[in-house]
Structures are given as structure tokens and as C-alpha cells.
Amino acid sequence: MAEYAVLKALHVAGAVLLVGNVTVTGVWAWYMYRWWREGTVPFRPIARAILWTDLIFTLGGGTLLTVSGIFLLRQSGLPWRDLPWIRQGIGALLLSTLLWLVLLLPAQWKMERATDAAVIRRLFLRWSVVGWTATGLLFYGLWVMVSKR
């Protein structure tokens, strides 16, 4: 029973790191983007911070969430294929992860190296739209896992 409680605490910690990081990064990135547009802040450090916080906290939190979730399912013996809330939570995490890997990370790498203002604007807009979509999916997954609906 103590092992299950530790796994559950790690699962919640992974969710907090993942969802918290993507939300806070999105908010402060928009804030810093406004300062960059006014010419008071260079964009490269903003893009580099986005990339590194994603690699550390999004990847770390997502890994912790996934691994602890697998162990929780194995320990609990829940028939996860028959439980819509688990399937929907896993689906939301998978879709958000695919958006991150296929669209967000490449955009972040390009933003970190971009020097042309028009390219930066285009990349940042795409990163923001896709990023907030992926974040919404994570909040949906969080909702279905907590409410079990």
C-alpha cells in the first residue's frame, strides 16, 4: 500500500511539472514576446529558455507521469481498456505529446536560431497556437483523470 501511495504521489508530481511548465512557459513567453516586439529584449534568450524548460520540465514531468501511471495501472489491476476516463486521459497525453514532438520542438529549435523578425513572428505564432492546443489537451486529460468521467 505504501508503494502505491508513493507511485500516486510521483504521478501527481509528474502532472504538476508537465501541466505547470507548459502553462507558465506559454504565459511568460507571450509576455516576453511583447517586450521583444518593442525592441527591448532580444529573442534568442527567450527561445533558448523555452527550449530548455521544455526539455527539462515537460520531458521530465511527462516521463514521470507516464512511468508512474504504467506502474499504477499494473499495481491496481484496473481494466483500463474498459474505463473511458483512463483511455481518454492516455489519449489526451498521447495527442499532446505528438504535437510537442512533431510541431512544437522543431519550431522551438528554429526559433532559437532565427534572426529574421518575420520568421520569428511566424514561428512564435505557430508555436503558440499549437502549444495552447497541446496544453488544452493536457488540461482535458487532467480533468478526466481526476473526475473519472
pLDDT tens for each residue of 115-143: 999 999 999 999 999 999 999 999 999 99
Note the pLDDT tens digit of each residue in 88-110: 999 999 999 999 999 999 999 99
Cα 60 to the center of its chain, rounded Å:
10
- Cα distance between the two ends of the chain: 25
What distance in Å separates the CA atoms of residue 115 and residue 68, rounded to the nearest whole number? 41
Tell me, what's the pLDDT at 5?
Answer: 94
Q: What is the pTM of this model?
A: 0.91
Which residue reads 489526451 in cell numbers? 92
Q: Could you tell me the residue ranges of all domains in the chain? A: 2-147
Q: What is the DSSP letter of 80?
A: G
Give start and end residues of each alpha helix (H) in 38-104. 43-53, 59-76, 84-99
- How many whole angstroms separate alpha carbon 123 and alpha carbon 4? 43
Q: What is the residue whose three cell numbers read 512557459?
A: 25
Over pLDDT 70: what percentage of the chain? 100
Query: What is the number of other CB atoms lying within 10 angstroms of the CB of residue 7?
Result: 20
To which H or E segment does residue 131 belong? helix 117-147
- pLDDT tens digits, one per residue of 12-58: 999 999 999 999 999 999 988 888 888 888 888 889 998 899 889 99
**Single-letter amino acid, residue 18:** L
